[in-house]
Structure 1
């Protein structure tokens, strides 16, 4: 099956990063259907929502309702985006146990996205860690704009290492390196992931990529080869950041899976994933950006992955 080595887990972020730029709300029941379908197909981890204010990011307004309807077993595979200790507290009260504490490496984007400086977000992280740990949960350090900022331009790799080494991030189980704008190239991704692996505390490294310049899959493979243990993708390449001009959709989950071929992924899994993806994107009125989905619908019937 040509499984890519070293292996990394896929986290599907459709229900958070994928939805946040869409103009159409998905009801709680529909979100639960998609989440459970992905879990049923074998997707090991998911990002299911955000504690961002509903008036700022309307598609995330029912996140607490989604969390409340999922079982503890399902929630063990699910992550929720948070940016403050209060976010962690509210999500934990609803039942969440995995929290992605996110802020930007660049002050300009952090102020646009979260409404505070990067230093203020970092200063609040120990309280967020304490709340997560008090409920037996896990928390990630997520660094947005790890490569470029839409307002400040290139971000120095030294800045990422500085944040990753900050004692106030102690307690995070993972570190997420995010190519928020999708402007990085494979050698650049490999270099930064390699430095994070070699120069910062031992944590699982997660790569979050976007496909703005068509390098989403290449960057993801480069990240895995350099030490990332988990990578993010969304169905059909859905997504983008409402506070990052120029950012397009996430790297398609289907493309990452077709390239990496984890043991649980087979032609019949792809067929079900294609159906799920096509129906969801049609429902949302969004374009299909996955090359794998397009290939799977081709006329090359002798190829086992064509559905």
Structure 2
């Protein structure tokens, strides 16, 4: 199992800006959990996402955690150049699978977004890193409705052919269910048999953890989650509720799957996040506490 903590990016992007020092406190807490991959920020317009306007300043501090593998999200060539200049080599490039979401998110069509893959891949590769293409609204779009599986398969193959090293599929508005997850991942696996696949689910409608199990049963071990369940997409109406890191760890560990992550430490990290954002987090497990453990709040 290879969990990626995304709270510092996807978790905070909907929030009012918090100080850099608070983000470093969150990173300290995350590093103690045993998670080894962290999506730490995004290099996007500060006007569009003011909570992440300090991307360069945060990137400059990442040498404090040499055992963590950091990645940064970008939405275009300009963001990729900023990320690489700030020392971020591993890039995540978002491609919205629907034109409606792509225009709302990045002011370009899906095909125009795909056309940037070679340039962004070259920036990552020349810096010694990798490019992960994240296909957003992979199951449903708030503007265009259900996303055809054939469209996702075609976009996945095109992204790989143009230089993406790995793929991640985002349930941006939290609408998918296990059967649809299995179908999509199976079709993509047939089209891209040698490419690493990951998933990013939201628990907006209560099916996020069930989708994690479906992905795991389909052979996917790279899963995104956010401490406390914080987060959502500011450019997709109704998107909220990332799956909570502690709930994924609890589900898998209690099912006999070794995550390598300490549940108690994740609950402590969620408490740090809650103090930083100043409001209650949506995670059920955070409110209840783990088995034979106190509640996460400090």
TM-score by length of 2: 0.92
Matches of 1:272 and 1:41, distance apart in 2: 5
Asked whether the 8 Å contact 2:117–2:159 carries over to 1, the reply is: no
In structure 2, the residue matched to 1:188 is: 180
C-alpha displacement of 1:191: 1.1
Shift of 1:75: 8.1
Pair 198,28 (structure 1): closer, same or farther in 2 beyond 3 Å? same
Distance 1:75 1:119 in 2: 37
Unaligned runs of 5+ in 1: 1-7, 298-302
In the alignment, structure 1 residue 203 sits paired with structure 2 residue 199:
no
Number of matched pairs: 291
Structure 1 residues 120, 74: CA separation in 2 closer, same or farther (over 3 Å shift)? Answer: farther
Cα–Cα, structure 1 residues 198 and 306, in superposed 2: closer, same or farther, change >3 Å? farther
Residue of 14, 24, 37 corresponding to 2:29: 37
The residue number in structure 1 matching 2:171 is 179
Asked if 2 retains the 8 angstrom alpha-carbon contact of 1:254 and 1:292, the reply is yes
Residue in 2 aligned with 1:264? 260
The residue aligned with 2:292 is 304
Structure 2 gap segments, 5+ residues each: none
CA shift for structure 1 position 278: 2.3
1:1-307 map, 5 Å: 8-22=1-15, 24-71=16-63, 74=66, 77-166=69-158, 169-261=161-253, 262-265=258-261, 269-296=262-289, 303-306=291-294
Aligned mates of 1:286, 1:221 — CA distance in 2: 29
Structure 1: distance between partners of 2:243 and 2:282: 9
